[in-house]
Amino acid sequence: MNAGAFSNDKVVSAARTIVPILVDCSKEGDNEDLQKKYDVQGYPTILFVDSQGEQIKELDNREAGAVKKEIENIAKKHPGVRPPFWQNSRKGALADGKLAKKPVAVYLATAKIDMAKLSTKLPKDLGDRTKKFLFVFERGTEQALKEWGLEAAPAVVVLDSWAEDPAKSPVARIAFKEDDKPDVLNKALDEALKSLKK
Amino acid sequence: MRFACALALIAVAAAPVQEHGGKVDWVRDPEFGLAKAAHEGRAAMLFFTADW
């Protein structure tokens, strides 16, 4: 494989038009369902799937130019029905947040979260806060909650994108219950924004 | 010599994607990534890799 393809600036830019997902199969049993579903025979294997998870094609030519073209062709046929709400990763969000001058809000979800329901409801509840923060989805595992100094999920941790080490000193740790009214989270996010402007 | 070249090729092919694909903002939670793609109505690129 041309390992450099995914470091190529044009490929990186094209990858923003689709959802690039890294499926780490390093440990035995990791992502076994996905490997079985797509009949993965070796590594690396790169596949394109549509929004319903149906395979479109496997990436054959892994030269940067070919990868870029393939992504563009597929993105053209699957342009999306709504703008992204969730960022791809905390690292990416912090980098973008620094450029866009926006803080990052890490949403720590409960174990049995209904992703589709959350992705529909949360942006509606947040209102224009969706434009003031970059939102990242993370699992509220026991380890994650401990690292953030939180007792339970759901919770939101607000990070200052311009801080030297944003995760080290979060701007706010917002705990709430799933059945709380949106105001609970919204007011706390507003306070976090105010404290950042000081 | 050929064996050394073959070994080198295998080493590169098996190298972690982080070393070579560090710039793409990968979603590292496949379940979330596929749900994100479904919600946005967009295609996804699944990069199956193993760090051995």
How many pairs of residues across A and B have Cβ atoms under 8 Å apart? Answer: 192
A137 three-state secondary structure: strand
Query: CB distance from A144 to chain B under 8 Å?
Result: no
Q: A24 vs B49: CB contact, 8 Å cut-off?
A: yes
E-state strands within A7-101: 19-24, 45-49, 55-58
pLDDT score recorded for residue B9? 46
Q: Across the interface, do B21 and A52 touch by the CB < 8 Å criterion? A: no
**Any chain B CB within 8 A of the CB of A23?**
yes
Tens digit of each residue's pLDDT (9 = 90 or more) over B1-50: 665 544 444 444 444 444 334 589 999 999 999 999 999 999 999 999 99
Q: What is the 3-class SS of A144-186, one letter each residue? A: HHHHHCCCCCCEEEEECCCCCCCCCCCCEEEECCCCCCHHHHH
Which pLDDT belongs to residue B3? 56
A43 touches B: beta carbon within 8 Å: yes
Q: Which two tokens stand for residue A193?
A: 């924004």
Torsion angle, CA of A111/A112/A118/A122, rounded to 10 degrees?
-50
- Pairing assessment for the beta strands A45-49 and B44-49 based on DSSP bridges: antiparallel
Cβ proximity of A197 and A132 under 8 Å: no
Model pLDDT for residues A62-109, shown as the tens digit of each residue: 999 999 999 999 999 999 999 999 999 999 999 999 999 999 999 999
- Which pLDDT value is given to residue B2? 61
Is residue A10 within 8 angstroms of chain B, CB to CB?
no
Q: What is the ipTM of this complex?
A: 0.94
